[in-house]
């Protein structure tokens, strides 16, 4: 099964050692040939760009000419904490990303358990395909689809009209729903793969020892799929955190971190640069917390 998030298998060390048994010097040269181009591309172009971005974040705008002036000021970073609109936007984005991750987990785990362990093999194949297919349907296509659902003359209001209620329209909860819709496969696929890998006799053993199905799921299944949930959560969290088009098109007046970056990129590049490090910081803290919980090996 090829997916975006191929949950990595533990490396087989035996094969690596077969290679290592060959002449070491020739080996090192081969490694250098293979590794230099991709490593150089990523280090020079990508890490290099991130590094320049960090430097730009310490520069400032000349208030009279509106030109970027190289120098050193902490003003841009300070503004993240002192400008109330900036701070609330950062916190709002964080909460939205956490909510998306939480909803994705709550939906993905039962789906994966049903697909992997309860559905018949043809049903399982059908479901696996159904979850994979929309993965590539296109980011903007899904965004357009959610607009059709939530717009005033849209599907949801039509569906709810007989009950005399109306949908949320375009607001923060719509942003959360849409982001979950977009990134759900990134959670569902690795969790499904992980549940499939649990041997069936674990369930028999658990049942023989007197655990009911709920307890089996809680004490046997969940601990075993935790690494996959965490791998998926890194993507749902990070992708939601940096998004701003969803907020722009279905969020009403909702702003996210990306909105501030995008609106400053031409007006005030140093502020945009400084603000880019907010999602980086959140993602790094998230990875650190995950590591503390002891489950980063499979990322």
Using a 10 angstrom Cβ sphere, with 0-12 exposed, 13-18 middle and 19 or more buried, the burial of residue 258 is buried
Per CB under 8 A, the segment of 82-90, 124-132, 168-176, 222-230 that binds another protein is 124-132
Subset of residues 57 to 76 that bind another protein, contact rule: CB under 8 A:
68
Per CB under 8 A, the segment of 71-79, 82-90, 122-130, 165-173 that binds another protein is 122-130
Q: Using H for helix, E for strand and C for coil, what is the string for 227-273?
A: HHHHHHHHHHHHHHHHCCHHHHHHCCCCCCHHHHHHHHCCCCHHHHH
Applying CB under 8 A, does 207 fall inside the site for another protein? Answer: yes
Contact track, another protein, 82-101, x by CB under 8 A: --------------------
177 contacts: CB under 8 Å, gap ≥ 6: 146
- Taking the complex as a whole, the smallest distance from the CB of residue 83 to another protein amounts, in Å, to 19
Rounded CA separation 99/107 (Å): 12
- Taking the complex as a whole, the smallest distance from the CB of residue 136 to another protein amounts, in Å, to 4
Whole-number CA gyration radius for the chain: 24
Which of 80, 131, 225, 290 touches another protein by CB under 8 A? Answer: 131
Subset of residues 184 to 203 that bind another protein, contact rule: CB under 8 A:
184, 200, 203
Subset of residues 217 to 276 that bind another protein, contact rule: CB under 8 A:
217, 234-235, 238-239, 241-245, 249, 257-258, 261-262, 265, 269, 272-273, 276
Closer to another protein by CB, 82 or 130: give it: 130
Applying CB under 8 A, does 165 fall inside the site for another protein? Answer: no
Cα dihedral sign, 294-297-298-299: positive
- Taking the complex as a whole, the smallest distance from the CB of residue 2 to another protein amounts, in Å, to 4
Rounded CA separation 278/256 (Å): 11
Closer to another protein by CB, 44 or 74: give it: 44
Rounded CA separation 187/234 (Å): 9
Contact track, another protein, 32-51, x by CB under 8 A: --xx-xxx-xxx-xxxxxx-
Q: How many CA atoms lie within 13 A of 105 on its CB side?
A: 18
Applying CB under 8 A, does 110 fall inside the site for another protein? Answer: yes
Which of 74, 88, 95, 158 touches another protein by CB under 8 A? Answer: 158
Of residues 247, 258, 104, the one with CA closest to residue 170: 247
């Amino acid at each position: 099964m090829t997916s975006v998030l191929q949950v990595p298998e533990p490396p087989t060390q035996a094969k690596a050692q077969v290679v290592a048994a060959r002449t070491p010097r020739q080996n090192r040269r081969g490694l250098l040939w293979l590794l230099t181009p991709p490593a150089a591309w990523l280090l020079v172009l990508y890490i290099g760009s991130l590094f320049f971005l960090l430097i730009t974040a310490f520069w400032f705008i000349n208030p009279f000419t509106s030109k970027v002036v190289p120098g050193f000021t902490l003003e841009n970073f300070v503004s993240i904490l002192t400008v109330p609109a900036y701070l609330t936007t950062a916190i709002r984005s964080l909460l939205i990303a956490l909510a998306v991750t939480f909803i994705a987990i709550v939906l993905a785990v039962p789906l994966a358990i049903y697909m992997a362990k309860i559905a018949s093999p043809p049903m399982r194949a059908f479901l696996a395909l159904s979850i994979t297919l929309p993965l590539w349907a296109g980011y903007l296509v899904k965004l357009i689809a959610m607009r059709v659902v939530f717009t005033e003359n849209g599907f949801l209001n039509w569906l709810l009209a007989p009950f005399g209620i109306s949908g949320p329209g375009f607001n923060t909860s719509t942003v959360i729903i849409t982001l979950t819709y977009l990134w759900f496969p990134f959670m569902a696929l690795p969790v499904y793969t992980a549940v499939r890998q649990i041997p069936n006799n674990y369930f028999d053993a658990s049942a023989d020892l007197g655990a009911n199905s709920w307890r089996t799921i809680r004490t046997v299944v969940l601990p075993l799929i935790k690494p996959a949930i965490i791998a998926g959560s890194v993507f749902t969290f990070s992708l939601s955190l940096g998004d701003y088009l969803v907020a722009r098109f279905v969020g009403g007046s909702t702003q996210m971190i990306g909105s501030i970056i995008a609106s400053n990129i031409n007006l005030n590049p140093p502020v945009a640069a400084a603000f880019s490090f907010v999602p980086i910081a959140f993602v790094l803290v998230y990875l650190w917390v995950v590591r503390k919980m002891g489950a980063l090996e499979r990322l």
